[in-house]
Amino acid sequence: MDNKPTVSIIIPLYNKESYVQRALDSVEYQTFKDYEVIVINDGSTDNGPEIVKRHKNLPVRMYNQSNKGPGAARNRGVKESRGKYIAFLDADDEWLPTFLEYSYYLLEKHTICDICVSAWYQEFVSSENPENGNSIIDIYKRRGIELYPGIITPDIVIREKRNLYLWFTSTVFLRRDVFRNGYRFYGSTRHTYGEDFYLWLQLAFNHTFYRNCTPLAWYHNNASDLAKGSYYNNPLEAFLLWPDKIVANSRLENRRKIRCWIANYAIRSAHSRLGVGQFANAVILIKKHPSMIVTSTASFLFLIIKIILYKTGVYKPGKGRSKYLFM
């Protein structure tokens, strides 16, 4: 009889030959050993798949598919998984040696929780970045945001957005059973921005999770276009373009609150988009989320004023990130 592993590790791979060895090594060095590794080669055109094949010390199964984007790749990984638990690791990130062991311990201890999310360390492309090498907990603390470990329920998430701050793909560890409810990453089109939060919102709005503030991974932004300052060119977040399934997959009594939650985020994103010159995207968000006029009336009116001033040439957008974004 084929013994199923306790944990299925899912790694989407698309042109990460410079980084995937580091990610695989971090899996090999885990203190928890009862796992399988599922690599979804999402149409790579570089040597990344060959690097995976040469890594003989891991129980790897690699599946090849045409390039469909990270959401579709992770969904394929979930479909092929056999473990009781699932962990996601992006090919350009890495885990600290105790990530699996401690995440597993926390969910076994806190059986009310279906998901564990952990903190991480940041490594930026620019060594001059003042936040380089710091934990995300310390970074938020310097911004006046205190995060503490503990059990977080859906009601708490809906009330306070900061409870989603540690939902980072490479530190999410969850029970495989949650996917029986039909939750998935956004993968219908090759969308690469917010396709992960499309799933995280569904989970956080419907399942209790444990927030672990001990950093257990490294986020490397070497291969991230967003981190290199290209927010100016990034598409709209998937969860803002296609919010209906997120709402429909939530409990009936919470759907109105969730739609308002998403609308509030949409208006912050609209301000951000307009702030970097994405006039068309700001307008799309207004049309997609008409309830923002009710949920954030003052902010909505301010946005309309800025749009009018933008069209008349009075308001001059800048470049870079906007203070309105929090994720």
Structure confidence at residue 316 (pLDDT): 84
Q: What is the CATH number that goes with domain 7-228? A: 3.90.550.10
Indicate the SS3 state at residue 208.
coil
Q: For residue 137, report the phi and psi dihedrals to the nearest 5 degrees.
A: -65, -45
**Residue at 114: amino acid letter:** D
Domain spans of the chain? 7-228, 232-311
pTM for the whole thing? 0.91
Digit-coded pLDDT (tens) for 272-313: 999 989 999 999 999 999 999 999 899 999 999 999 999 998
Check if the beta carbon of residue 132 is closer than 8 Å to that of residue 219: no
User: HEC string of 250-284?
Assistant: CCHHHHHHHHHHHHHHHHHHHHHHHHCCCHHHHHH
Cα separation, 95 vs 111, whole angstroms: 24
Residue 178 exposure: Cα atoms within 13 Å on the Cβ side: 27
Using CA atoms in the order 233, 237, 241, 246, what is the torsion angle rounded to 10 degrees?
A: 170
* E strand residue ranges, 141-273: 150-152, 172-175, 209-220
Check if the beta carbon of residue 164 is closer than 8 Å to that of residue 115: no
pLDDT < 70 positions in the chain: 1-2, 125-130, 223-232, 319-327
Check if the beta carbon of residue 36 is closer than 8 Å to that of residue 82: yes
